[in-house]
A and B are shown apart, each in its own frame.
Chain A
């Protein structure tokens, strides 16, 4: 919402195949600094794969991922440093089971950013407070509810001071009563000027928060634009059909 015109990330003709199956056919888009982008679309359409191609959890079969104008797929590009700048929040939270809440938020800072223990702890505590989990520093992930775990996962990601934060269906695995607490944390984050790319099925949330939306289906972007355009004046048939499912509910 504090969008600028500086392009921070651009995907150029990304293709991804798993064996015979081509999941991404041709995905290209630009993300500006401070922009909140959401990706919606039917299941199996390639939303998550697009996200995973951005931080290279999946290696694109073809195409370019440019970060500040540099192709991160180039052989000599330092991927670990890049990944530290592109945070990710997973559908299944994936907190480190062997570490407590505080340590989950510290380990990346210490190992990757080489911050001192004290500094890492200070930053971790501050961010845990932001997500309302400061009372649970000593808890183990298995002792927390799904919503609490996801809030810790968000804190863990923002401790790394990422330039972009990716959310892969962050509320899909949650019981309905816990969705709200996570979404409100995300809304707060959006006000800080952090660039975010969110894959979600929460249409109302997407409509409210997004600067730009992408509708991905069958491995291509069939429609993109401002929320108003997608929700109120969809051009593509697939978008219309997809959105009608939600409006009927």
Chain B
């Protein structure tokens, strides 16, 4: 009886290991977070405010937990603050929606991410004085009939648009008489439309016109911010630095430092940033760069990043599937332990089974994306445990996969023919011996297609971990897409990579399955070696 509970011990040991791993990375993260580092959260994906690059050129600063660097206007401002505070700046690369949680959970000290201090956000965090005032412009072609507009009404009849989901699009309403076109997804689309003539112009910040001019001198930007009758709220026109509410001292020093950066210096920094932002050959008209196919130049610039992304995706999927398999195996085994004879053990087993079914229900019943956010940010916020994001991602994929595989393996155990149990029992085997030597090998073999499937699903579904900014393939892909302004070809390339990965892995597992299956017929001649010499054979014949 006692040995049956070895399974339980195994399970407990497994969870202990996981928590030790978490703890280990916790202390590691704590050690890193000394006084010397100023952790600044940003997308590193919003040019020219911030972006990701593969080297430290132009004074870029390292991105925490990766080999990449961040640069941009925000980084330049962060460096000034860091210098004055005598703290080294490190960028915490975070998805837009993860910025506030990163701050409130203590994973970052500051948000410098081109963020506007809206009333909604001010409920959660404090904002410094603005570190940039935006100027809004209408970007049009130099030979456009709206190129010389002087007042808001001069845009009458112009087909204008702006980026989807931004207030820029609402600003068009203030240009009386302009024909507001459907909003567009990104600047790349708007630049294309402007050049092809389907629109007369689009509303954006002056930074966009500066960067656009660098690749196409034939455009003109008309500032509208100063035109009479134009109105933009503070929310919309300024960007400020976010600081956690309790951190009053830091807020004070940041404000003091910002006061020492004059407007002229700010403009200079922004111009620098626009010039330094990763070059794209987008819209280059017949210049020499055209001879090189897009894919080649993209790969030259981002190939390393993408390879790292592939590596991270494979790491997450394989570690997640393997660890998930062992979790699933342990859970599946515990859930098929026969009812013990003593009452105490029976209740214990009942309780453990109940716990395990809660685990399975919860993790199968909620999206992995939500689990990732809850575990990564929630744990940091409520228990002040700072888990490394890669470790967090590994844990999440593992326990998520474990929940699925637990049921698959339990099914595999249950569906093993009753005769196999009986034949093993009749030989006098204990429950554990039956399990290890007879039932599990068959159950696992029968589960292999499902396990393969889970692996494939993991390769694709780890993309949702971009929510906690793990730089897996999809996260890298979205970085490349927004920096090159080539959404379609980038995502097409990324999906091709996913397809190659899943296709290859499926074939490998098919081969393994085929190998395990063996041949249908037994070839007497080929298999006789072990029994006797050919002489014996002759004698028999």
Give bound CA distance, A84 to B427, whole Å. 5
Interface membership of B438, Cβ < 8 A: yes
Interface membership of B231, Cβ < 8 A: no
**Residue of B at shortest CB range from A134?**
B531
A80-B422 in contact (CB<8A): no
Chain B residues numbered 206-243 whose CB sits less than 8 Å from any CB in chain A: none
**Residue of B at shortest CB range from A86?**
B426
Using A107-B437, A135-B524, A143-B522 as known contacts, say yes or no to A96 and B423 having CB atoms under 8 A apart.
yes
B527-A139 in contact (CB<8A): yes
Chain B residues within 8 Å of A156, by CB:
427
Using A136-B522, A140-B522 as known contacts, say yes or no to A95 and B423 having CB atoms under 8 A apart.
yes
Interface membership of A36, Cβ < 8 A: no
Chain A residues numbered 86-144 whose CB sits less than 8 Å from any CB in chain B: 86-88, 90, 92, 94-98, 102, 107-108, 111-112, 125, 134-140, 142-144
B527-A97 in contact (CB<8A): no
Using A94-B422, A125-B531 as known contacts, say yes or no to A81 and B428 having CB atoms under 8 A apart.
yes
B531-A57 in contact (CB<8A): no
The segment from B272-280, B357-365, B383-391, B513-521 found at the interface with A is B513-521
Query: Interface 1/0s, chain B 427-445, versus A by CB < 8 A?
Result: 1111001000110011001
**Residue of A at shortest CB range from B520?**
A143
Give bound CA distance, A143 to B433, whole Å. 25
Give bound CA distance, A108 to B445, whole Å. 21
**Residue of B at shortest CB range from A140?**
B518
Chain A residues within 8 Å of B532, by CB:
134
Chain B residues numbered 403-425 whose CB sits less than 8 Å from any CB in chain A: 417, 419-420, 422-425
Chain B residues within 8 Å of A144, by CB:
522
B402 to chain A, nearest CB (A): 24
Using A98-B438, A111-B437, A137-B530 as known contacts, say yes or no to A57 and B428 having CB atoms under 8 A apart.
no
A80-B428 in contact (CB<8A): yes
Chain A residues within 8 Å of B520, by CB:
142-143
Give bound CA distance, A95 to B419, whole Å. 8
B522-A139 in contact (CB<8A): yes
B433-A111 in contact (CB<8A): yes
A80-B429 in contact (CB<8A): yes
Interface membership of B56, Cβ < 8 A: no
B377 to chain A, nearest CB (A): 45
Interface membership of B528, Cβ < 8 A: yes
Using A94-B422, A137-B531 as known contacts, say yes or no to A108 and B438 having CB atoms under 8 A apart.
no
A84-B428 in contact (CB<8A): yes
Chain A residues within 8 Å of B528, by CB:
135
A57-B422 in contact (CB<8A): yes
Give bound CA distance, A97 to B440, whole Å. 11
Using A137-B530, A143-B519 as known contacts, say yes or no to A111 and B429 having CB atoms under 8 A apart.
yes
A200 to chain B, nearest CB (A): 18
Cross-chain contact of A83 among B425, B438, B530 (Cβ < 8 A): B425
Using A94-B423, A97-B420 as known contacts, say yes or no to A112 and B428 having CB atoms under 8 A apart.
yes
A188 to chain B, nearest CB (A): 18
A98-B442 in contact (CB<8A): yes
B428-A138 in contact (CB<8A): no
Cross-chain contact of B426 among A83, A95, A102, A135 (Cβ < 8 A): A83
Chain B residues numbered 463-520 whose CB sits less than 8 Å from any CB in chain A: 518-520
A132 to chain B, nearest CB (A): 11
Chain A residues numbered 141-158 whose CB sits less than 8 Å from any CB in chain B: 142-144, 153, 156-157
Give bound CA distance, A157 to B426, whole Å. 9
How many interface contacts (CB-CB < 8 Å) are there between A and B? 88
Interface membership of A55, Cβ < 8 A: yes
Using A98-B445, A138-B527, A143-B520 as known contacts, say yes or no to A112 and B438 having CB atoms under 8 A apart.
no
Chain B residues within 8 Å of A136, by CB:
522, 524, 527
Interface membership of A198, Cβ < 8 A: no
Give bound CA distance, A81 to B430, whole Å. 10
Give bound CA distance, A80 to B434, whole Å. 12
Chain B residues within 8 Å of A143, by CB:
518-522
Give bound CA distance, A87 to B417, whole Å. 20
Give bound CA distance, A62 to B191, whole Å. 88
Give bound CA distance, A112 to B527, whole Å. 28
B428-A108 in contact (CB<8A): yes
**Residue of B at shortest CB range from A112?**
B428
**Residue of A at shortest CB range from B524?**
A135
Interface membership of A216, Cβ < 8 A: no
Cross-chain contact of B442 among A84, A94, A97, A125 (Cβ < 8 A): A97
B272 to chain A, nearest CB (A): 67
Query: Interface 1/0s, chain B 110-129, versus A by CB < 8 A?
Result: 00000000000000000000
**Residue of A at shortest CB range from B341?**
A75
Interface membership of A160, Cβ < 8 A: yes
Give bound CA distance, A144 to B424, whole Å. 20
**Residue of B at shortest CB range from A108?**
B427
Give bound CA distance, A89 to B521, whole Å. 24
A90-B531 in contact (CB<8A): no
Chain A residues within 8 Å of B522, by CB:
136, 138-140, 143-144
Chain B residues within 8 Å of A88, by CB:
423, 426
Chain A residues within 8 Å of B423, by CB:
88, 90, 94-96, 153
B445-A92 in contact (CB<8A): no
Using A98-B442, A140-B518 as known contacts, say yes or no to A92 and B426 having CB atoms under 8 A apart.
no
A160-B427 in contact (CB<8A): yes
B429-A108 in contact (CB<8A): yes
B428-A90 in contact (CB<8A): no
Chain A residues within 8 Å of B530, by CB:
102, 137-138
Chain B residues within 8 Å of A137, by CB:
527, 530-531
A96-B420 in contact (CB<8A): yes
Chain B residues within 8 Å of A97, by CB:
420, 442
Chain B residues within 8 Å of A108, by CB:
427-429
Chain A residues within 8 Å of B445, by CB:
98
Chain B residues within 8 Å of A90, by CB:
419, 422-423, 426
Chain A residues within 8 Å of B521, by CB:
143
Give bound CA distance, A126 to B433, whole Å. 25
- Would you give 6 A-B contacts (Cβ < 8 Å), ordered by A? A57-B425, A80-B429, A90-B422, A111-B433, A137-B527, A143-B522
Beyond A107-B437, A111-B437, 18 additional pairs, beta carbon < 8 A: A80-B429, A83-B425, A83-B426, A84-B428, A85-B428, A86-B426, A88-B423, A90-B419, A94-B417, A94-B422, A97-B420, A112-B429, A125-B531, A134-B532, A135-B531, A137-B530, A139-B527, A142-B520
Which residues of A line the B interface, CB within 8 A?
55, 57, 80-88, 90, 92, 94-98, 102, 107-108, 111-112, 125, 134-140, 142-144, 153, 156-157, 160
The 6 closest A-B pairs by CB, nearest first: A84-B428, A108-B427, A94-B419, A143-B522, A94-B423, A88-B426
